[in-house]
Amino acid sequence: MKKWQSSLLTVLFTIGGISGSVVGTSKLADAQTVNDIENSNQLVEQQSQEEKIPFQILGINDFHGALNTTGSFFDDEGNKTANAGTASLLASYLNRAQKQFETADKGAQTIRVQAGDMVGASPASSGLLQDEPTIKVLNQMNFSVGTLGNHEFDEGLQEFNRIMIGEKPKNDPYGILMDYPREASKTEIVIGNVVKKGTEEIPFGWKPYTIKEVGTENNKVKVGFIGVVTTEIPNLVLKEHYEAYDFLNEAETIAYYSNILQEKEKVKAIVVLAHVPATSKENKVNGEAGEIMNKVAEIYPENSVDAFFAAHNHQYTNGVVNKTRVVQSTAQGKGYIDLQGTLDPETKDFVDVPKAKVLPVDPGVKDAPKLDEKVETTVKDAEKRVAEVTNKKIGTAKENGAITREVNESKESPLGNLITDGQVAMAKAQGIDADFAMTNNGGIRADLAVGENRDITWGAAQAVQPFGNIMQVVEMTGAQVEQVLNEQYDEEGRYFLQISGLSYTYVATKDKNQPFKVQDMYKKDGTPIQTGQTYLVVINDFLFGGGDGFSGFTGGKLVNAIKPDTETFVGYIESKEASGELIEASIENRKKLIDPSSPIDPGAPDSKEAEDKIKKATIFDPLYEDDELLRGVTLPNATILLYDGEFPQTNARTTELPDADLAGHADSEGRIKIDVTSLKLNEKKQLTALVLDEEKNKMAFPIEILARKEAILITSNTKELPETGAKKELPKTGEQQSSHAILAGTMAISTCVVVILKRKIL
């Protein structure tokens, strides 16, 4: 917060807070109703002035236009609900929860809220229509108050505001948007910590808070809703979409407007809609939401925040910080929040800390509600409109079943490998000799859906990479590459990369701020990445701007660009289909945690078993000083690094390999054929070959360089003697047999014939 803002905050707390925005009070005389049922709460009019009011808040966060997608819902005990979600089923669960609350509690009142990221990073059925179907669906589900998330900034707040007010778009890239029956959003946006740069003005006329009157004309309580978004926005969106705004401290903003609500508006019941991360375990809240509320308590102990709807990290949350209930519904319509409390007209506040349940949108239970017809109609209409684009087949998978974005312990995923492999490949197809590709894991928005017939469609690929970020080709040093890899392990490791063209090992440290660090980095061919050497790296423009806190990318030099991420991924799959290749992906241990306490000799493998495997598989042909090729056999696809003389001495506690004089690869059947003319063998006595398998296990082999060979053949015609220096071929099985072996074989066969004849005679 700027100095003038902090000073203003101090003055307001000192004199009682007689400043701020004047916010209109909107009435909620009757509970919000569903499916046009408006009479269920008319009995509330009979309540007396002192009768307490049962109050329910139904909430969601991070919907991301998930009209028709499903996924796994996990609670904080690890319990899984499979295939949770879809907008029409979510609507039905919300309707049922509200109806049950109304039935159980006389005079019950309900309001529905959202905590940001309703749009952006959306599947094709919503994304190709600029998320306008999502606005319509949220209207049908009666969400009345919400805040901004970082994805509302994806195309700039100007475009988000256009969507919210139902204005016709200027562009229609797929020819399906102009005719969509759009409508303005009925959700009131509250956002207190985003202001135009250098001012106190909140953009687009949005307000920092709103007030809803809950109850009846004669028996009601005011409830205030404050909105904030994470101050990490500059790390999460393109610079052009955030540079016009200041992002104020979340805790200070909540404390400031809580003070105004209480002192100026006389509101004691306060709810925060905050697009900030949280987790929970056994009712204890962790993450920024908990830290923020503790800070609010320090700034303004009388803050009276009763409920805090968190978001952003898509994690189940349900716990209490001080006297504030903190909840989060996971994401993408897979779960919802049912928060319940009691309002006291006398104290104008909640009687106690509200209770809450975070529940899955489960299609598999026996009493699952029927799909909401209105919402389902909207979803089906959107699917029909985008079908001509999304249903086009672009590739074929090796197996049916989705290719997952789920990461292993080192945070590598099969889908991440496929995406980044595609970025390197498409750069090379454009004539750019890219070394590596890296992408932020948060940009991978869905598993790659594969049909039962193993078809992959345009829509499935778009759902994976929906942003359309520009792909930049930047020149980076090995030191800068190491920096960005290390930046994965700060800030609690929340942001990390998927990578291609390289692999690395990393080790644990005792530094709490940097619990892991990179140990060694290798190119795909096994050669070490040198800190002083430059490499071409394909990244998206989000990362190039330092997104997700990867400041190391900002030091790269922009040298080229390829098509946006969506088109690149689609194009890669299409290129595989055109060449008859099937799509597959797996974990390849591109990131590997090692124990630094164990000395590592580059000439030895990581394990005895691996050493034996390489040793048994590897044979080099004799190498003569006039040979052009080094031949042999080893493990399939192994890397062979050649060094002049003995293997160079290195620090025994590191896996970093010295630069090789020459490198090559075995083919898919293990055959070695390396052109060694550049080494000038006639001037050398020995080479050392370091063989690396695909897991980077190593084994060193000394190769003696023999004197020029002479051909010695037995022949009666000396004129037919061949020239010396004939090329050698790998020996073939059974090709060389001695005369003794032939004689012994002949005798054995003869003996068998004699025995057989003798038995027949007898």
pLDDT in tens, 145-154: 999 999 999 9
pLDDT attached to residue 734: 36
pLDDT tens digits for range 346-404: 999 999 999 999 999 999 999 999 999 999 999 999 999 999 888 999 999 999 999 99
Distance in angstroms (rounded) separating the CA atoms of residues 379 and 68: 7
Question: In angstroms, what is the C-alpha Rg of the chain?
Answer: 34
On the question of pLDDT at 733 being above 60, the answer is no
Distance in angstroms (rounded) separating the CA atoms of residues 667 and 688: 20
Residue 577 has which token pair?
């289909």
pLDDT attached to residue 23: 36
The reply to whether 474 and 355 lie within a common domain is: no
**653 found inside a domain:** yes
- Look at residues 593, 626, 654 and tell me which one is the last residue of a structural domain: 593
On the question of pLDDT at 731 being above 60, the answer is no
Cβ 434 vs Cβ 427: under 8 Å:
yes
Of the given ranges (419-423, 570-574, 744-748, 751-755), which has the lowest mean pLDDT?
751-755
The reply to whether 329 and 451 lie within a common domain is: no
Distance in angstroms (rounded) separating the CA atoms of residues 663 and 490: 35
Which residues, in sequence order, are CB contacts of 473 under 8 Å at separation 6+? 427, 432, 434, 536, 537, 538, 558, 559, 560, 561, 562
On the question of pLDDT at 689 being above 70, the answer is yes
Residue 682 has which token pair?
């006639």
Whether this model's pTM surpasses 0.85: no
CB-count burial class (<10 Å; 0-12, 13-18, 19+) for 260: buried
On the question of pLDDT at 525 being above 70, the answer is yes
Of the given ranges (67-71, 204-208, 445-449), which has the lowest mean pLDDT?
67-71
Mean pLDDT of the 401-412 span:
95
The reply to whether 585 and 688 lie within a common domain is: no
For residues 408 and 15, the model is more confident at: 408
3-state secondary structure of 395: strand
Which string of b and e fits 728-753 if b means at least 16 CB within 10 Å?
eeeeeeeeeeeeeeeeeeeeeeeeee
Structural domains of the chain, count: 3
- Look at residues 593, 624, 659 and tell me which one is the last residue of a structural domain: 593
Beta strands, E only, 266-399: 269-275, 279-281, 284-286, 305-309, 316-321, 324-329, 335-344, 349-350, 355-360, 393-396
3-state secondary structure of 207: strand
pLDDT attached to residue 550: 92
On the question of pLDDT at 431 being above 80, the answer is yes
Residue 212 has which token pair?
């809803």
Cβ 469 vs Cβ 564: under 8 Å:
yes
The reply to whether 572 and 676 lie within a common domain is: no
Residue 160 has which token pair?
């988000």
Q: What is the largest CA-CA distance in the chain?
A: 127
The reply to whether 406 and 288 lie within a common domain is: no
Which residues, in sequence order, are CB contacts of 649 under 8 Å at separation 6+? none
The kind and range of the H/E element at 290 are helix 288-299
**117 found inside a domain:** yes
Tell me how crowded residue 72 is: count the other CB atoms within 10 A of its CB. Answer: 14
What's the residue count for the chain?
762
Amino acid at 298: E
pLDDT band at 737 (very low <50, low <70, confident <90, very high): very low
For residues 570 and 647, the model is more confident at: 570
Of the given ranges (291-300, 454-463, 522-531, 595-604), which has the lowest mean pLDDT?
595-604
pLDDT attached to residue 597: 59
pLDDT attached to residue 649: 56
The reply to whether 515 and 642 lie within a common domain is: no
pLDDT attached to residue 97: 98
Cβ 468 vs Cβ 565: under 8 Å:
yes
- Of the ranges 424-428, 655-659, 694-698, the best mean pLDDT one: 424-428
Please report the sign of the dihedral spanned by the C-alpha atoms of residue 720, residue 725, residue 726, residue 732.
positive
3-state secondary structure of 609: helix
pLDDT tens digits for range 1-39: 544 455 444 434 443 433 333 334 333 333 343 344 344
Distance in angstroms (rounded) separating the CA atoms of residues 419 and 570: 10
The reply to whether 361 and 396 lie within a common domain is: no
The reply to whether 587 and 624 lie within a common domain is: no
**308 found inside a domain:** yes
**23 found inside a domain:** no
Of the given ranges (57-66, 400-409, 476-485, 727-736), which has the lowest mean pLDDT?
727-736
* Residue 653, CA distances (Å) to 303, 515, 596, 650 in order: 55, 19, 7, 9
For residues 289 and 236, the model is more confident at: 289
pLDDT attached to residue 693: 87
**745 found inside a domain:** no
CATH number at residue 442: 3.90.780.10
pLDDT attached to residue 339: 98
Tell me how crowded residue 663 is: count the other CB atoms within 10 A of its CB. Answer: 17
Please report the sign of the dihedral spanned by the C-alpha atoms of residue 710, residue 713, residue 719, residue 725.
negative
pLDDT tens digits for range 542-567: 898 788 889 999 888 888 888 889 88
High-pLDDT (> 90) share of the chain, %: 62
Of the given ranges (26-30, 105-109, 184-188, 484-488), which has the lowest mean pLDDT?
26-30
pLDDT attached to residue 656: 61
Q: Closest Cα to residue 146, out of 184, 188, 183?
A: 188
Cβ 253 vs Cβ 286: under 8 Å:
no
Residue 462 has which token pair?
């778009």
pLDDT band at 67 (very low <50, low <70, confident <90, very high): very high
**758 found inside a domain:** no
As a whole number of Å, the end-to-end CA separation of the chain is 111
Cβ 329 vs Cβ 51: under 8 Å:
no
CATH number at residue 632: 2.60.40.10
The reply to whether 641 and 536 lie within a common domain is: no
pLDDT attached to residue 660: 86
Q: Mean pLDDT, the chain, as a whole number?
A: 85
For residues 395 and 670, the model is more confident at: 395
The reply to whether 158 and 283 lie within a common domain is: yes
CATH number at residue 100: 3.60.21.10
Of the given ranges (303-312, 705-714, 728-737), which has the lowest mean pLDDT?
728-737
The kind and range of the H/E element at 134 are helix 132-140
On the question of pLDDT at 599 being above 90, the answer is no
Beta strands, E only, 169-282: 188-189, 194-196, 209-215, 220-229, 245-247, 269-275, 279-281
The reply to whether 364 and 488 lie within a common domain is: no
On the question of pLDDT at 617 being above 90, the answer is no
- Look at residues 686, 706, 726 and tell me which one is the last residue of a structural domain: 706
**728 found inside a domain:** no
Beta strands, E only, 552-697: 557-562, 591-593, 619-620, 623-624, 629-633, 639-644, 662-665, 671-675, 686-692
Cβ 348 vs Cβ 267: under 8 Å:
yes
Mean pLDDT of the 69-81 span:
87
Residue range of the domain that includes 449: 392-593
pLDDT tens digits for range 302-357: 999 999 999 998 889 999 999 999 999 999 999 999 999 999 999 999 999 999 99
On the question of pLDDT at 572 being above 70, the answer is yes
pLDDT attached to residue 50: 61
The kind and range of the H/E element at 9 are helix 3-15
The reply to whether 226 and 328 lie within a common domain is: yes
**329 found inside a domain:** yes
